[in-house]
A = this chain, B = another copy of it.
Amino acid sequence: MRADVTRYALPDPGDVSGLKEAIDAGRVNPREIVAVIGKTHGNGLVNDYTRGYLTLSLALLIGGATGETPEAVRARIPFIFSGGVEGVLSPHYSVFTVSSEDVPADGRPSLAVGVAFTPDFKPADIGRQRQIDWTAEAVRQAMQSAGIERVEDVHFVQVKGPAFTLSDIKDGQVAGEAALTDNPGKLMGHGRAASAVGVGKALGEIASDKAVESTVLNDFSVFSSVASCSAGVEVRGNEVIVLGVSDKWTGPLTVSHASMADALDVSGVHVALEGMGLVAEPQVTTADAGRIRAAFIKCEAARDGRIRGKGHTMLNDGDIDQQRHIRAAVGAIVASIVNDTALFVSGGAEHQGPDGGGMIAIVAEKA
């Protein structure tokens, strides 16, 4: 098995000409696409429709190339998009392909990719045990499909779960199945959090007795160091992508990750780079930056309202959502180190890395 990742600029959520050209030129085989992860132009909150727009655009493109219906494409390929390209960030999407051509392994661990889907959730499931457990099960399936046996070989688990609008939530209430909150934005947070706990449970980072509903959005000492979870109205179940390394895989790429202890913890970025044999003194050179294929960052506004002892205002702001603030900030910090603005930066890092911090994973060409 051989994994590859190619990244395309996204001038508009409906403009997938980058991938189209690659398919037309034979550089990407559309049947080998197993996942797409990207950053779109919206606000990344409930009323962000750019994620759904890109999903539809890509499903049409890929289906047109393979002969599948858009629905079949969406059932086969997780499309995980996070809205919000605040500050210097650049909208883009990264296409993961897996070819099974019989290439001999080179003896070095290579990027391995696996995907899985949970069944659909109802609003009342979000943030609850069912979401934890089904997510954990999907992570195990994705690891298996990737042929990754050891949990320490997993470096990144991306989960996209459902968001529900007020209307969905009200319908659930009427049906006698109340969601944890009727605030759509807040319910997204419950969903990210429970999904992260599910990832941690599957990977043994979170003990079973902690991987329970009462931990969610409550005990922030509990976290997964590789989970990255987002939510959007365009999906109904959790879609899971596992990235790791495996001797059984071949190809030019590898992946590493690190935790970030707080929003200013640049050491995590340097550790993740070092894992790929890259250095930033203080910035990755343009030449080396060309080796980076994708980077994934989770971050959050510190809940106690302080960063290294000084107050921040993100959680009091009624004009700009806290997630937009922190994505702009941490996205820029990472961009300034890795010398690349096409980063997947996602806010809302509940149980995804240390409290008030987050995590980073980088896919790059091997040194």
**Whole-angstrom distance from the CB of A46 to the nearest CB of chain B?**
5
**Whole-angstrom distance from the CB of A261 to the nearest CB of chain B?**
12
If over half of A's interface residues share one DSSP class (helix, strand or loop), that class is named, otherwise mixed; here it is loop
Quick one: which of B14, B53, B87, B321 contacts A325, CB cutoff 8 A? B87
Q: Within residues 306 to 340 of chain A, which ones have a CB less than 8 A from any CB in chain B?
A: 307-308, 310-321, 324-326, 328-333, 335-337, 339-340
Given contacts A316-B166, A336-B266, contact A87 B45 (CB under 8 A): no
**Whole-angstrom distance from the CB of A3 to the nearest CB of chain B?**
24
Copies in the complex: 4
Quick one: which of B11, B47, B90, B170 contacts A165, CB cutoff 8 A? B11
**Whole-angstrom distance from the CB of A341 to the nearest CB of chain B?**
5
* A182 engages B85 (CB within 8 Å): no
Q: Is A77 an interface residue (CB 8 A)?
A: no
**Chain A interface residues (CB < 8 Å from chain B):** 9, 11-14, 41-50, 52-53, 56-57, 60, 85-92, 165-167, 170, 182-185, 233-234, 263-264, 266-267, 270, 280-283, 286, 303-305, 307-308, 310-321, 324-326, 328-333, 335-337, 339-342
What are 16 inter-chain pairs, A to B, with CB distance below 8 A? Answer: A46-B318, A47-B317, A52-B53, A56-B56, A85-B313, A86-B320, A87-B326, A87-B328, A92-B310, A165-B305, A166-B305, A264-B335, A308-B339, A308-B341, A328-B329, A332-B332
